[in-house]
Amino acid sequence: MDTFLSLLLERARKSPDVPAFRTKQMGIWNLTSWSQARDQVSILAQALGQNGVEAGTPVGVFGPNATDFYLGYLAVQSLGGIVVPIGTNTFGEELGQQVHSADVEHVFAFEQQHVDALLECGQTCVKRIFYINGRGMENYTQPELMLLSDATEGIEASAAFLEQMEGQRNPQETATILFTSGTGRSERPVELSHGALIATARSIARRETITEKDELLAYLPLSVSSDFLFSFSLALTTGCTLNCPESDDTVLQNMQEIGPSVLFGPPYVYKYIYTHASNRIESARTFDTKIYKSALRAVMTVASHRAAGQKGSFTDWLLFMFARMTTFSPFCNIYGLSRLRLALTGGDAIAPDVFNFFRAIGIDLRETYGQVEGCACVTMQSSEDWNSDSVGLPLDDTEVRIENGEIWFRGPGQMKGIYKNPEATADSIKDGWVRTHDAGHLDDQGRLHVHGQIARMGSLNGGGAFASDMLETRLRSFEYIKQAIVLGDERDYPVAVVTVDGTITRTWADRRSLRYTGYADLSAHASVQEMIREYIQKVNEDLAEDPETSGMQFRRFAILNREFMASAGEVTPTRKLRCHEIEEKHRGLIDALYSDALEYTYTDPVDEESYTVPLGNV
């Protein structure tokens, strides 16, 4: 049985010179080999030990995706400490709450903005902040601050120290505390053990034969459980190289430079590439557009055959291969996807059109399903799954069952519990099974189908069933719609509040010579509203075909004057919508949707400007 420390030491022994981490700094990719990683971890661990970190101490790690922070994880864990990753976009009350509920006394932070956030978060439990970059902090006198290079001064690398520590570690120890995303329920600190994370990562690696030749890209906020699993844990268990981008704005460029072979991304990442490509095609020359569209048709035909389990004709197949070679192979190269042999998505339902697009152009995209409580991955599709409706089979030794329509699971990857909260733990784990608060069913092949959060399923006043998650996913399939929230539980009919994708809608509007001043003006434009209405009508027609969903047709919709934003507390770090907050915040708008009003005027608290949102009937 392994811990992350023993995995590191094993790598450093077996393949000392193989690159472990790569971070782009100052325009250059800097490599850290496994033996260098071990040396740096030993220095960091000794420094942390001297400052009071010991077994069971939660240590916050607050910074961007960079080698230093992943090494920080290992240093904390080698002392038996618990890593509490904090995303760089966390601040204020939310940060204070996380720091408080995980008892964080020590924090490993990057630079001024993180130190400021910690000092201002209103919690006094933090006793020591190590920071890496002291720029702009010359006048800071707080006693808890310590420059990391001061803390490590004079300490020498010692493999023996780590080996000694290795003997004291055991896989049942908590490796990390991660927070549930809090889309529905409040955020809860979930304890995950070394053993659970390693078992989950190994299970994925075994299925897909991920080896040390693979390249990963770590770009999701550290606090996201999928980053802990698909970046850190996967890199340690398989020995593949973890690449960290230069900054948040350069992820796409860096992805192209690295050409990752395995990539995990929440649905918004794939939607972004899909929309970005559509936008470029929209603004291309007519001839190019025609070629692209016919190539897309060729690959989509075959993909839909495969999804339906039919055998297509030989001509179709020929066209399919031709289109892939001539159009989509260069396409993948532009986006840095050409070496990608395994693309994973999860954390939210992916829009079917986006999924089909990637499968058709030759990206082996798989849906996964998982929760923080299950190390971020419980089930995973295989490469034969050409449909986005299921999320595949459970991982090795993992079982899934449905009770009263709710999904429960158990297996090696399940959590230890909710940190210092036995009641919540008892509520989440019953007889060894972990509840998910999601509804779903298993099909005859044992694959799991997820319907959405139970809390978000309900019924319309007329008595018809209502599932907002499913409806939102359908709306998001449209490249012009960026975000969508659907309401209808205990109401007369379903309504939608959507936001449009600024980039592609602008291109669309420019082509039609529409006049607008900015995003808010564009989103309120009659033509944009008409375009969205047409799409929602199409969704309604699809819904009408199935008797189970025919009652869920939209009657009214609104296009918001801005996107839902993380800074307004409306979006989680993986860009899922926080429905409760949005419902609270936009109550007036929602009430207006349930009246006959054709527009709604309000003062947006974000910029304190007044906006008029047109309300549309479908």
Partner 1 sequence: MAAGNPILQIDNITLAFGGVTALNGISFDVAEGEICAVIGPNGAGKSSMLNVINGVYVPQEGRVVFKGQDCTRMRPRQIAQLGMARTFQNIGLFQGMTVLENILTGRCMKIRSTWLEQGLNIGRARREEVENRRAVEEVIEFLHLQGIRKTPVGKLPYGLQKRVELARALVAEPTMLLQDEPMTGMNLEEKKDMSCFALEINREYGTTIVLIEHDMSVVMDISDHVVVLDYGAKIGDGTPDEVKNNQDVIDAYLGVTH
Q: Which long-range contacts (CB under 8 A, 24 or more apart) does 224-227 make?
A: 224/87, 224/347, 224/573, 224/574, 225/178, 225/190, 225/370, 225/371, 225/372, 225/375, 225/376, 226/264, 226/266, 226/346, 226/347, 226/370, 226/376, 226/377, 226/574, 227/65, 227/85
Stretch that binds partner 1, among 8-16, 131-139, 185-193, 273-281 (CB under 8 A): 131-139
Binding mask 228-257 for partner 1 (x = CB under 8 A): ------------------xx-xx--x----
Binding mask 137-176 for partner 1 (x = CB under 8 A): -x--------------------------------------
Stretch that binds partner 1, among 25-33, 223-231, 407-415, 566-574 (CB under 8 A): 25-33
CA-nearest of 486, 475, 501, 472 to 563 is: 501
Q: How far is the CB of 562 from partner 1 (least distance, A)?
A: 14
Where residue 209 falls (left for φ over 0; alpha for ψ -120 to 50; beta otherwise) is: left
Q: Which is nearer to partner 1, 256 or 289 (CB)?
A: 256
Q: How far is the CB of 113 from partner 1 (least distance, A)?
A: 11
Among 135, 285, 311, 515, binds partner 1 (CB under 8 A): 135
Q: Which is nearer to partner 1, 69 or 328 (CB)?
A: 69
Whats the size of the chain, residue-wise?
618
The count of other CB atoms within 10 Å of the CB of residue 143 is: 7
Q: Which is nearer to partner 1, 135 or 515 (CB)?
A: 135
Among 56, 136, 432, 446, binds partner 1 (CB under 8 A): 136
Count the site residues for partner 1 by CB under 8 A.
11
CB burial of 488-511 (b: ≥16 within 10 Å; e: otherwise) equals: bbebebbbbbbbbbebbbbbbbee
Residues 293-312 that bind partner 1 (CB under 8 A): none
> How many CA atoms are closer than 13 Å to the CA of 522, on its beta-carbon side?
21
- Supply the DSSP symbol for 586: T
Query: Do 382 and 154 contact (CB within 8 A), yes or no?
Result: no
Residue 423, interface with partner 1 (CB under 8 A)? Answer: no
What one-character-per-residue DSSP string does 227-249 give?
HIIIIIIHHHHH-PEEEE-SSGG
H/E stretch holding 587: helix 587-593
Q: Which is nearer to partner 1, 136 or 330 (CB)?
A: 136
Q: How far is the CB of 511 from partner 1 (least distance, A)?
A: 19
Q: How far is the CB of 28 from partner 1 (least distance, A)?
A: 8
Q: How far is the CB of 17 from partner 1 (least distance, A)?
A: 25
Stretch that binds partner 1, among 103-111, 130-138, 173-181, 500-508 (CB under 8 A): 130-138
Binding mask 559-598 for partner 1 (x = CB under 8 A): ----------------------------------------
What six digits make up the tokens of 445? Answer: 């092949």
Residue 284, interface with partner 1 (CB under 8 A)? Answer: no
Residue 89, interface with partner 1 (CB under 8 A)? Answer: no
- How many helices (DSSP H) and strands (DSSP E) are in the chain? 23, 29
Stretch that binds partner 1, among 26-34, 323-331, 348-356, 383-391 (CB under 8 A): 26-34
Residue 27, interface with partner 1 (CB under 8 A)? Answer: yes
CA-nearest of 325, 326, 324, 329 to 340 is: 329
> How many CA atoms are closer than 13 Å to the CA of 175, on its beta-carbon side?
28
Residue 329, interface with partner 1 (CB under 8 A)? Answer: no
Q: How far is the CB of 516 from partner 1 (least distance, A)?
A: 17
What is the distance between the alpha carbons of residues 11 and 238, in angstroms, rounded to a whole number?
Answer: 9
Residues that bind partner 1 (CB under 8 A): 26-28, 135-136, 138, 246-247, 249-250, 253
